[in-house]
Amino acid sequence: MKRVLLVTAYDGTEFAGFQAQKSGVRTVEGVLNEVLSSLTGEDIEVIGASRTDAGVHALCNLAVFDTGSRIPGDKFAAALNTRLPEDVKIQESFEVDPDFHPRHCMTIKTYEYRIYNAPFPSPVYGRNCCYSYTPFDTDRMRRAADCLAGTHDFKSFCSVYSQALTTVRTITGISVTEELLADPAGIRGCFHGRTGTGRPAQEKQQRSLLMPRIISIRVSGTGFLYNMVRIIAGTLMEAGRGAIRPEDMPSILAACDRRAAGPTAPARGLTLVNYRIFPEESRSARSGSGPAGPPADLEKGTQNREKLPEISVDTPK
C-alpha cells in the first residue's frame, strides 16, 4: 500500500462543499472517491485538508488516499483528469509518507475573497466573485484589515454553529488590493468631451467612481474557524462602505460576539489559493520535541504576506 497526495482545483459553484455527505448530494470528495474507486478497482475514500463550504472554490486543496494500485503516484493526476468532470481537476499528484495526514500538520493557508465592484453585474465574474455596486473605500478596508493580523480570539468572526474547542487563531498576513478594469465596451470614452456640458473634471470623477474593478481580500493563517474568512470579508466590506469605522475593529475583536462583526459574505467570492506545508515542524510536533506551529519567521503579520508563492506544496516524499 502507498499513500498518494492530490493537489486538487475545483469550481465550487455546483458542489455542496468538499466533504462527502450521507444525503448523497454532489461534493468534491464524493466525486474523487467515485472516480478513484473506478480507476483502481478499490474502495477509495480520500482524506481532505480543507473542507470548504458549498460554493467555495480552490486552486490547491489537498487530499490523500491509500492504494495498492501499481499506478505510480505521479501518474494519478493524468489518469484522473481524463475521467473527472470539468469543474474539478488534479493539478499534481505524488506519493507521500504513509503517516502523512493533511489535517495533522503545520500549514499556512491563504484564501482570497474577490469582489466585482461595478454599476451592474457581469456574467463573466459571476461564478467566482461577489458582486456589489457600492463604491467601497479600499483605504478604509486596508486600515480595518491591519487590525486583524496576528494572534487573536476570533469569536466575533466565527459562525455561531462552530464546534471549535478554541476560537483563538493566528492570521499571518492580510491584504486588500484593487484592480481597475477597462471600460468593457470602450464606449464611454467615445462620447467624452462631446456632450457640451463644460464640466470635464466632474465627469472624469464620476467615471472613475463607476469604473468596474476587482477588490481582492487575501487572508493567510495557520487555521480558520467556520465561516471566518467570509465574515472577515463581510466586515471589511462594511468598513469600505462606511458602516464600520476602521478604528472600531479592535473593539469588535474584543467583544467575542458574532453580532459585533459584519455579515457573512457570499461563498462564491472565496477561493483557497495557497497551501504551504512544513514537514519538519509537523514531525517535531507529532514527536513532542518541537514547536506546535509554523516557523517563527512566518508569524510576523502582514509583512510576510509576499513570502507565500501562489501555489506552494512542500510535502514529505
Among candidate residues 53, 70, 96, the one where a domain is terminated:
96
pLDDT at 211: 86
Given a contact cutoff of 8 angstroms between Cβ atoms, the answer to whether 36 and 73 are in contact is no
What CATH number did the domain enclosing 15 receive? 3.30.70.580
Are 45 and 164 contained in the same domain?
no
Give the C-alpha separation, 243 to 171, whole Å: 24
Query: What integer pLDDT is reported at residue 192 of this predicted model?
Result: 56
Same domain, 91 and 113: no
182, part of any domain = yes
Asked if residues 44 and 122 have their Cβ atoms less than 8 Å apart, the reply is no
Percent of the chain with pLDDT over 90: 74
Region 35-56 average pLDDT: 96
**Full domain range(s) for residue 74:** 2-96
Q: Is 73 left (phi over 0), alpha (psi -120 to 50) or beta?
A: alpha
Q: Are residues 36 and 159 in the same domain?
A: no
Question: Which carries the bigger pLDDT value, residue 277 or residue 154?
Answer: 154
Statement to judge: residues 61 and 117 lie in one domain = no
Q: Which of 64, 96, 128 is the last residue of a domain?
A: 96
Domains held by the chain: number: 2
Q: Average model confidence (pLDDT) for the chain?
A: 86
Residues 208 and 251 in one domain: yes
257 assigned to active site: no
Same-domain check for residues 182 and 289? yes
Strand partners, 10: 58, 88
Which of 11, 43, 53, 297 is labelled catalytic? 53
pTM of the prediction?
0.85
What Rg do the C-alpha atoms of the chain give, in angstroms?
22
- Mean pLDDT calculated for residue range 80-96: 98
Asked whether residue 315 is assigned to any structural domain, the reply reads no
Report if residue 112 sits inside a domain: yes
